[in-house]
Amino acid sequence: MQLSQEIMVFTLLGIFLIGAFLTAVTSSMRRLTAWMGFVFAFLGSGLCIALAANTLYALTVEAGRSYLTLPILNASFQIRVDALSSLFLIIIGLLGMCVALYSVGYITHERYSDEHLIRYYPFLMFFLAGMVGVVVTWDMFYFLVFWEVMTLASYVLVVFEKRDPTVLRAGLKYFVMTHVGTTCIVTGVIIIWLWCKALSFDSLKVGMDILSSERPRLLHIVLLMLFVGFATKAALFPFGDWLPDAHPAAPSAISSLLSGVMIKMGIYGMLRTFVWMMPSSPHLSIWGLIIAFFGALTLVVCSTAGLFQNDSKRLLAFSSMSQIGYICVGIGVGIGFLRISPAISTLGFIAGLYHVFNHACMKGLLFLNAGSVLIRSGKRDMNLLGGLWRFMPTTALTALIASLAISGIPPLNGFVSKWMIYHASIMSGLQAPVYLAFSVAAIFISVITLAMFAKFMGAIFIGLPSKLVSQIEGKLSEVDWTMTIPQVVLAIMCVVLGLFPGQVVLIVHRAVEAMRPEFVTPINALFPDLPLSIGICVGEGISGAFSPLIFVLALLMCMLIPYALYKLSGTSVRVALPWACGEPHSYEELRYRSSRFYLPFQRFMSFRIGQKRITTLYPTLPKPKAPWLTKLSILFDVDRLYEAVIRVCAKACEWFSATHAGVPQLYVLWMVAGVVIAILLLYLLS
């Protein structure tokens, strides 16, 4: 069984590498390269899902063989796929297939006609291969190798539009910050290696156990390094400040992968190190609280910052950070209560991982929606958009589904995972009151998230058409089918994952069980079987239950009864223009722009520091000024050195030319002097 897993991993990595080579060779033929990239990405992503399904069905994990052994470090490339890896492989496969098909119509659009595809498809393949390698590798050295492949490939994709200085600045910020995070991870791993002298995950687990018993303070330093490194990749505030700049800069298809999948690699790293490797000790409670705290902080700061954004992709970027906060609150509860209350801990882990899966579908879809709007309108500024629903109905409908889902509206998938996070944080708060504050923050931010996406939908799709939209009305239409199908697929996933949570909980429970089976509550005890419902039991009796199908039936009844009364009344519909106080005004004057949303709340949230008024909790530091840096260019100015050499040589030539006076006797004297010097040299050498 393990051999078949290894073969599947090597096969899908080989597919990505062959795809990278062939798309690089054919990159000048844009349409052919796009379809070739789709085929290889689809095959590799499909194998990811097949490998995950095979592992989840088999329920066994065997140690694989070692390859590429490095004796000095005692490291070797080992493949091991457990249920936790499988969960992330499903996300990589699902988003990989959707993004590959979406890119066929997106990246070949005339907007990107000046950009060469050799900087897109080969690096998309490396990006997918790197993420797969991160979750299937069982050795920290090769984990970091794939981690770096993922980071460098994503950097090239972020700066795809390299002619834009803003894009280059965002790419540089992403490159520097993520490598600072990687340096922290490497530092923590080196400290553990000094105690265990090996880099396999099993050896590092033993090393952590030794540190826990012999050097507990040093273990805290190791955990701090690992936390900062993985939190930077996961975009937790304040470590993930790269994300609000990088997501808008990247092509929308890549933004979908960055938000939907790549930042989850930071979550995977936290789970693999803080849960799977960590020994059972009081350290767990401390670091669970720290992770949950930063999750709640990210929730509050990034959601309120996103509420006032006017760039559609920047709004989605802040929302991604906020949703990572939800995930970390759940995971923090799981880690913090692992030794105290296994039932609450298991619920926290399941809630966090369920939201990992949900957020991949919801945010992946929303970035594809934003990309479709960008392709048709050419704008990301929501102040310039409006009324696109009648021109792009499929995009608008899928965006509505994703917006409702991420806002936690039942019966969509976002509600189920958020409801579990609320439940876990409240139940944990009964034993540690600080977690109650986290639950209050999570519930409050759900309201903010709903307001954020009401703005997103209202400013782009539902509101009155802007002047720009009215001018290009004749050119507006739904996007190509290659871009529509991925949006529909992800929208269906948002609905299905909400209506049938039982199967998802079963898969996620297996992933949690793979981390710490000795502390995990059995699924039948935690989620007792209820007809058409999902119930939660963390103690005596059921503390919560939700029935998606019954909710849908009740919702349909509440909609059908008013509709039937409306029809029976025979009331006619009257269409009228908006009331403008009796004065003639254009639609552009009456239109509610993005920047006008929630101004009273913004004024309420603002505060003053000295002479400056701060309107958002998210800190915006001024650009550093260092005029002295321009003077350093003198040290690297080759022309100045070259000119100095020329001046010296010119002076020497002028001196030598003075000896050519045109007098024959002087020339004979130089010849005699030369003969004398030659005789002296020969004498000295002899």
Q: What is the pLDDT of residues 273-299, one digit of tens each?
A: 999 988 888 888 899 999 999 999 999
H-state helical runs in 235-341: 243-249, 252-257, 263-270, 283-306, 312-336
What's the token pair of residue 170? 């965002």
Q: CA 521 to CA 21: how far, in whole Å? A: 47
Angle CA(212)–CA(215)–CA(218) in degrees, nearest 5?
95
Rounded to whole angstroms, the Cα distance separating 127 from 528 reads 41
* AA identity, residue 26: T
The Cα 650–Cα 498 span in angstroms is 82
Separation between Cα atoms, residue 122 and residue 660, nearest integer Å: 66
Residue whose entry in the numeric block shows the structure tokens 């609320």 = 422
Residue spans of the chain under pLDDT 70? 1-3, 59-64, 530-532, 587, 620-642, 656, 658-667, 686
Amino acid residing at 25: V
For 134-172, how does the pLDDT look when each residue is reduced to its tens digit (9 = 90+)? 999 999 999 999 999 999 999 999 998 888 888 899 999
pLDDT of 442: 92
3-class secondary-structure state, position 116? coil
- State the pTM of this model: 0.87
pLDDT at residue 590 in the model: 75
The pLDDT value recorded for residue 600 is 82
DSSP state of 539: B
pLDDT value at residue 1: 43
Q: How far apart are the C-alpha atoms of 383 and 381, rounded to whole Å?
A: 5
- What is the SS3 assignment for 602? helix
Q: What is the pLDDT of residue 633?
A: 62
Q: Give kind and range of the element (H or E) at residue 278.
A: none
Q: Is the dihedral of CA 590, 592, 593, 595 positive or negative?
A: positive
d(CA 484, CA 478): 8
State residue 545's pLDDT score.
Answer: 83
Q: What is the pLDDT, as a whole number, of residue 326? A: 94
The pLDDT of residue 626 is 61
